[in-house]
Amino acid sequence: MQPNFLIVMVDQMNGPMLDPDMIDFLHIPNMRKLLAKGIKFNNCYTPSPLCTPSRGSFMTGMLPSRSGIYDNAAEFKSTTPSFAHYLRDMGYQTALSGKMHFVGADQLHGFEERLTTDIYPADFGWTPNWENPLERVDWWYHNLSSVTEAGIAEISNQLEFDDEVTYNAKLKLYQYARRIDTRPFCLTVSFTHPHDPYLARQKYWDLYDHGEIPMPKVPFIDYKDQDPHSQRLYDANDFRRFEVNEEHIRNARHAYFANISYLDDKLGEILQVLEECEFDQNTHVLLCSDHGDMIGERGLWYKMSFFEYSSRIPLVLYSPNTFSPREVNTPVSNCDVLPSLIELAQGDLNQLVCDIDGKSFIELAKGHEDEQRSAYSEYCAEGSIEPMVMIRKGDYKFNYSLSDPVQLFNLVEDPNELTNLASAPEYKNLVDSFTEEMHQRWDLTTFKQEVMHSQRCRTLVDRANRKGHFTPWDFEPPVNGRNRFMRNHMDLNIVESNNRYPKV
């Protein structure tokens, strides 16, 4: 019998939150239960530290350089297969409740159903411009107001959205339980928290002692002492216009932790329905994030960086009656989700219709670590001036672009990434080895040309589409109230029987 899948994706939760020195501070009883019986991947990395390209890689198993999903306004082509396409072709019901930030006219990408609209736009309006890469686009770039205005809110765009995501996910599980359609299911539930703005409900704020909120391990680093990309991020976030003090930082981090607890409640609600519907023994549960958040480390906020708080993300797999609980230290990536799901669904990875960059992590879940395995990441969006790439392998992280100094960090000895080893003579052979691996995977000159061509095309299309009548691509969930509940063209006996669980 094919298993079911429940995939829960959160937004902008960093991996260090689940490290031993942080997890004990968090109020996350449901995540703890999942961690206690599942596989925790300690070194999972985002394929790109930004929403749309990361989610595109999560869906397709491809890095942005292969898929063309370079930034938050890059099209996810309808011809690119996603894990939803593969699973649906294998006989699965596929549904999405929540965010996936698909850009383009295709707003399904293999999902048979979408249960909510998205929280972000589907058009090309947020296209970066590498013709003038250092220009700040104020109307859609981040600024630091999320930090200076952090605090308590009982409702916000984000809270309204995630409340709706949870309601629809639970309802969908109940619909699956009624077994009107007996196919196995893959339900993806994708939240927008703990993404900024840093606003939390009082209930979750009060779980934490404000005075005990952990502050950044690496405090503010002056602009002149930052590496070139971090300087660009300071500029992109308009840091000169804001005075961020210690209380602002504490408030923002307090709200961030509180919103992780809010998500934990939502996860608990969904897992409870999964158990009530007797799916818990035949459903693989995957908990993941798209990218992290610097939450003030080094003076940086949000994502867009290869530093650990931005690029390392949670990944937990619970597979009942399949794997023993353990922690995996081999680096993996969200690109690895697609082949892993197909393997768990008893599919043939040799039958993929196009090349991908991901590798199944199922052997790792069985306890077979792989010291030769690398995780890759790319960044091509706001705050960058050309493609940036990252390799994580063994104890080391290697960051490279044609314009910036090479970076090499030993993450075991230097987890805060304060000592760049790239120019140290004793590391020359290691830098050469990483450089060779980088050149085998990427032609950065061609990569830049392809990104800029995409930017120019999208900018023209968006400008033209906004002249005259504008037709948005944003997804609008269909609601057919004429066929819900009880209507006179239905047999009352059948309606009541079909919609009851457990069955009589």
- CB-neighbour burial class of residue 103 (10 A; exposed 0-12, middle 13-18, buried 19+): buried
For 190, phi then psi, to 5°, come to -125, 115
476, part of any domain: yes
Selection from 169, 9, 158 nearest residue 97 by Cα: 169
Indicate the range of 104-118, 230-244, 445-459, 469-483 predicted with least confidence: 469-483
CB under 8 Å to 279, separation ≥6 — which residues? 4, 6, 173, 176, 177
Structure tokens at 86: 């593969």
Are the CB atoms for 312 and 16 separated by under 8 Å? yes
Q: Is the pLDDT of residue 461 over 90?
A: yes
Q: Would you state the pLDDT for residue 209?
A: 98
For residue 101, indicate whether it is catalytic: yes
Q: Quick one: average pLDDT of 481-493? A: 86
| Residue 260 pLDDT level (bands cut at 50, 70, 90) | very high
Q: Is the pLDDT of residue 280 over 90?
A: yes
Q: Would you state the pLDDT for residue 344?
A: 97
* pLDDT 10s digits, 302-358: 999 999 999 999 999 999 989 999 999 999 999 999 999 999 999 999 999 999 999
Q: Would you state the pLDDT for residue 130?
A: 97
DSSP state of 45: E
C-alpha 395/C-alpha 313 separation (Å) is: 17
C-alpha 323/C-alpha 154 separation (Å) is: 40
Are the CB atoms for 271 and 286 separated by under 8 Å? no
* pLDDT 10s digits, 35-87: 999 999 999 999 999 999 999 999 999 999 999 999 999 999 999 999 999 99
Q: Is the pLDDT of residue 5 over 90?
A: yes
Q: Is the pLDDT of residue 483 over 90?
A: no
504, part of any domain: no
For 483, phi then psi, to 5°, come to -115, 20
Q: Of 27, 44, 85, 101, which one is the catalytic site residue?
A: 101
| Residue 276 pLDDT level (bands cut at 50, 70, 90) | very high
Q: Quick one: average pLDDT of 354-377? A: 97
Burial 280-314, CB ≥16 within 10 A → b, else e: beebbbbbbbbbbbbbbbbbbbbbbbbbbbbbbbb
Q: Quick one: average pLDDT of 366-371? A: 96
pTM, full prediction: 0.96
Structure tokens at 227: 């590496």
234, part of any domain: yes
Q: Residue 385: which CATH number?
A: 3.40.720.10
Quote the mean pLDDT of the chain. Answer: 96
365, part of any domain: yes
Q: Is the pLDDT of residue 373 over 90?
A: yes
245, part of any domain: yes
Q: What percent of the chain has pLDDT over 70?
A: 100
503, part of any domain: no
Q: Which residue range(s) make up the domain with 137?
A: 4-498
Are the CB atoms for 29 and 264 separated by under 8 Å? yes
Q: Would you state the pLDDT for residue 490?
A: 84
Q: Of 44, 51, 335, 380, which one is the catalytic site residue?
A: 51
Q: Which residues pair with 113 in a beta bridge?
A: 95
Q: Would you state the pLDDT for residue 499?
A: 85
Token match 């790109």: residue? 48
* pLDDT 10s digits, 386-410: 999 999 999 999 999 999 999 999 9
* pLDDT 10s digits, 197-209: 999 999 999 999 9
Task: Report CA-CA distances (Å) from 235 to 29, 52, 142, 240, 268.
Answer: 39, 22, 10, 8, 39
Q: Is the pLDDT of residue 486 over 90?
A: no
Q: Is the pLDDT of residue 154 over 90?
A: yes
C-alpha 206/C-alpha 435 separation (Å) is: 48
For residue 288, indicate whether it is catalytic: no
Strands 388-393 and 374-379: antiparallel
Q: Would you state the pLDDT for residue 502?
A: 87
101, part of any domain: yes
Q: How many independent structural domains does the chain possess?
A: 1
273, part of any domain: yes
Structure tokens at 226: 């930052």
* pLDDT 10s digits, 213-252: 999 999 999 999 999 999 999 999 999 999 999 999 999 9
